[in-house]
Structure 1
């Protein structure tokens, strides 16, 4: 509880009365406002620790009002409320600084849990609200490159929230480590962290693995199984390779996210669980939505706070820091005397594209340490296939003849022609890598692939 009242901004009188009754029965003091202007006045007067804010207000957009709240008092925990058809507004609010969101209709337990989590986060922030995070505080990460500093800052920002985190990145970039770091820096750090690889479990068993089953519900169910969602109660459920879920299970996962209720396979009753969801994929989730393999409503429900794990080739000298740390650890484990990389090996590591990312680098160092002894890692100790990666750079897509882009060359052209020239030049500048060009242009790689396909069909 807090000595300052909560602020409720809700224009529907019946809902305002219901919310007030629930909050007061749970011991919370609450002040209500029916529109943005009175809500802003009450906020300035009360400086409430938590605000419950309906995004659809009669006199002003709720998202703009939230920005005013946070400008006045940045550490206020704002819980936004929105209708089911406006989840995209809730997502925008989370990215603008909201602590959590509720989608109507929601039950009393979900409502009070959101309040309790916001208040807990407020208390936590009061003692540990540092503006930045040094890389060393994320003990399982190694590297201090600018892309990783952005990841650390994002983890530090989102960890204290209850918002769903959606981690993307190529295979081997450390998505599970990122999920673990979010959990470890959250108010749920004392609770369980339960990882589940959706892509490694047969589809017919996934429902049981996620939601559990009761004995005798299907052949082989010789005892009750709680399932990952129940095991993660009070903590974090990490769903890796989320795009591997079949559509039927996606529907059940969406229902779970909306109600916080699970029903094990074969059970006649459902039960409530309190978990935070973190998910990850090495695919382009929007492309999966476009192809009908991933539900759009589930995507927007999960894709609240995105974190992109950079590939190793974009992390500069991090590759050497990771290699040195791995060499020290593996040498100690295997009883070897390795101490350093030969300068030629270090130069090679910096030039390689590392398609398997950090996982591939660790495997290379492990290979060297197991089969050789030090004190220096030389080029002849490296796996044979590693030498050939420099000889096979990524092949650029066939874009045909394209003129060099200059400002003079853009004048007099249509907007579509200018867009194509800029995209093609960016792809060429980055060695034909569409993912790299997409990051520079701040679009999804699937967007560039679609445009290239359309140009080919038009020619």
Structure 2
């Protein structure tokens, strides 16, 4: 730490105050100490410290109760809570009340120093909350500047005002329902109901009743007339999500709606007019379903007046940055920034869950970072590729390495950098995992790795892992 700052330590144990004061003073800071929350609050108002180290168990008012007062007195300066060993509930309560980090007694001074350094660093990066009402972004907005998404936007714009049926295809989590909602929102039916429904979520025995309604006495339990989803969506739009799961018998009745604009309630032969636009979505290959006889070919052609395909996230990685910021805004973290190195790492991930998986990852990172600039270590560990060789045992790890080496040698038999390429491929992940396990304690990390601290430092610099912390 190079910049001199004032740090307030509040603890009723003189030895703790003395040790922290000496340690932080050697770091070049001005340290003031107090033995009670009341005394600490007076010093906080007087000195406006850049950070507060606050014990939980204090005479009179405890640290958890006093925490909001310290935040108010210091304009939300970061607070590091000191808790008794194993007092997890207290630590959780402290974090919920606004603590930036916590130390558990007994703690090593080097751990306390590292925590204080990181807390001050995070404080300099922390976004100041706006004094306005929380801003909620429209989660229904499609985000993407990639050519693939621009094509999707173009198709939506062209088809929205028509009454054509639209089949939306794409992997799970790519945003098919968002496309359907956008089509409805920009159509002439926008003021009428929009009802998304997944047939697989309906009771298969009652699916026709759910879709088309029923009359009293149509089946056991039908105690009154009941309209179905098509009737409720009159004048509007229905999205049939995962259309491939629709039973064959129901497919016949849906075909009638699309071809004749008519349907009948279960138990009633009287035809009813359906003024409803039908959109459908699927993550499976309906061509294969038609070939196998699981899906009617005539219904397939009726549904595909227009087909819009959503690309998987791994094929539109340039959209990851805008999507991350969009999700942060939607989660009321709009002022949180993301380190540029994060995007390079995120673009290499397979994202089997696509946009949904990315959204969950961003939410995880925002909670872990607590307002500071996001780094890759704030994100959950990448899920292995579906094609990856499992490495749950030494044998399978050896097999994976052998496969990698065979591929490398085949690609370039005269290569002289295979060893360095291998280290560059596997060592950064190993270092990150060990550092995460030790809470960033490099001495312990070096011990676990069986290397000198200087060697670890050089490796971290070489792989630019230093820049991530």
> TM-score w.r.t. structure 2 length?
0.51
**In 2, distance between residues paired with 1:222 and 1:176?**
34
Corresponding position: 1:367 with 2:368: no
Any residues of structure 2 matched to 1:219-238 within 5 Å, and which? 219-238=220-239
Among 344, 347, 368, the residue aligned to 1:350:
347
Any residues of structure 2 matched to 1:180-191 within 5 Å, and which? 180-191=181-192
Q: Tell me the SS of whatever aligns to 2:307.
A: strand
The alpha-carbon deviation at position 372 of structure 1 amounts to 4.2
The alpha-carbon deviation at position 249 of structure 1 amounts to 0.7
For each residue in 1:8-38, what CA deviation from the matched residue of structure 2 results, as whole angstroms up to 9, or x when unmatched? xxxxxxxxxxxxxxxxxxxxxxxxxxxxxxx
Name the structure 2 match of 1:292. Answer: 293
Q: Against the structure 1 CA distance between its residues 317 and 165, is the aligned structure 2 distance closer, same or farther, given a 3 Å change threshold? A: same
Q: Against the structure 1 CA distance between its residues 391 and 340, is the aligned structure 2 distance closer, same or farther, given a 3 Å change threshold? A: farther
Q: Against the structure 1 CA distance between its residues 189 and 328, is the aligned structure 2 distance closer, same or farther, given a 3 Å change threshold? A: closer
Name the structure 1 match of 2:199. Answer: 198
Name the structure 2 match of 1:214. Answer: 215
Structure number with greater Rg is 2
The alpha-carbon deviation at position 289 of structure 1 amounts to 0.3
The alpha-carbon deviation at position 174 of structure 1 amounts to 0.7
Q: Is the 8 A contact 1:344 1:379 kept in 2?
A: yes
Q: Tell me the SS of whatever aligns to 2:287.
A: helix
The alpha-carbon deviation at position 215 of structure 1 amounts to 2.9
The alpha-carbon deviation at position 203 of structure 1 amounts to 1.7
Q: Is the 8 A contact 1:243 1:281 kept in 2?
A: yes
Name the structure 1 match of 2:376. Answer: 379
Alignment: residue pair count: 257
Any residues of structure 2 matched to 1:235-314 within 5 Å, and which? 235-314=236-315
Q: Tell me the SS of whatever aligns to 2:347.
A: helix
Alignment gaps of 5+ in structure 1: 1-135, 396-403, 405-459
The alpha-carbon deviation at position 387 of structure 1 amounts to 5.6
For each residue in 1:49-102, what CA deviation from the matched residue of structure 2 results, as whole angstroms up to 9, or x when unmatched? xxxxxxxxxxxxxxxxxxxxxxxxxxxxxxxxxxxxxxxxxxxxxxxxxxxxxx
Name the structure 2 match of 1:111. Answer: none
Q: Against the structure 1 CA distance between its residues 276 and 393, is the aligned structure 2 distance closer, same or farther, given a 3 Å change threshold? A: farther
Name the structure 2 match of 1:392. Answer: 388
Any residues of structure 2 matched to 1:76-115 within 5 Å, and which? none
Q: Is the 8 A contact 2:138 2:330 kept in 1?
A: no
Q: Is the 8 A contact 1:242 1:280 kept in 2?
A: yes
For each residue in 1:276-303, what CA deviation from the matched residue of structure 2 results, as whole angstroms up to 9, or x when unmatched? 1111111011011011100011111111
Q: Is the 8 A contact 2:162 2:187 kept in 1?
A: yes
Q: Against the structure 1 CA distance between its residues 254 and 316, is the aligned structure 2 distance closer, same or farther, given a 3 Å change threshold? A: same
**In 2, distance between residues paired with 1:277 and 1:250?**
13
For each residue in 1:325-366, what CA deviation from the matched residue of structure 2 results, as whole angstroms up to 9, or x when unmatched? 11232244xxxx961222332211111121111011111112
Q: Tell me the SS of whatever aligns to 2:257.
A: helix
Q: Is the 8 A contact 1:320 1:350 kept in 2?
A: no
Corresponding position: 1:151 with 2:152: yes
**In 1, distance between residues paired with 2:139 and 2:325?**
18
Alignment gaps of 5+ in structure 2: 1-136, 391-399, 401-409, 411-469
Name the Cα RMSD after superposition: 2.8
The alpha-carbon deviation at position 232 of structure 1 amounts to 1.3
The alpha-carbon deviation at position 222 of structure 1 amounts to 3.6
Q: Tell me the SS of whatever aligns to 2:346.
A: helix
Q: Is the 8 A contact 1:338 1:377 kept in 2?
A: no
Q: Is the 8 A contact 1:167 1:279 kept in 2?
A: yes
